[in-house]
């Protein structure tokens, strides 16, 4: 039995791919901007001895990195699922 996902069978699948690509780009741009701002806040807070600003900056850096990793992992996971679906 040769079962595989037929992406051409759905109307609008190309628009869905464009929307997913645009959302991924938006997430990555926001993550990079958040990383830059948070790292600056962390550095300024640590240099001036303000532990509250340094802590908020550190949390922001980790959240930005986590968001970028999850966005990339989501794309890799979706590609893996499509590949597995094509092999069934």
**In Å, what is the CA distance from 48 to each residue of 37, 75, 78?**
17, 40, 44
Q: Flag whether the pTM goes above 0.75.
A: no
Q: How does DSSP assign 64-87, residue by residue?
A: HHHHHHHHHHHHHHHHHHHHHHHH
Q: Domain coordinates of the chain in residue numbers?
A: 15-86
Please check whether residue 43 is in contact with residue 57, taking contact to mean a CB–CB distance below 8 angstroms. Answer: yes
Those residues with Cβ within 8 angstroms of residue 65's Cβ, 6 or more apart along the chain or in another chain? 31, 35
- pLDDT tens for residues 3-43? 566 666 656 666 767 777 788 889 999 999 999 999 999 99
- pLDDT tens for residues 71-88? 888 878 877 876 776 666
Rg over alpha carbons for the chain, rounded to the nearest Å, is 20
More confident: 41 or 1: 41
Residue with tokens 């303000």: 50
């Amino acid at each position: 039995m040769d079962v595989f996902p037929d992406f051409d069978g759905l109307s609008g699948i190309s628009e869905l791919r464009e929307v997913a690509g645009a959302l991924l780009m938006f997430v990555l741009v926001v993550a990079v901007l958040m990383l830059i701002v948070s790292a600056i806040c962390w550095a300024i807070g640590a240099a001036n001895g303000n532990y509250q600003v340094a802590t908020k900056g550190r949390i922001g850096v980790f959240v930005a990195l986590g968001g970028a990793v999850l966005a990339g992992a989501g794309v890799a996971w979706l590609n893996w699922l499509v590949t597995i679906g094509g092999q069934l």
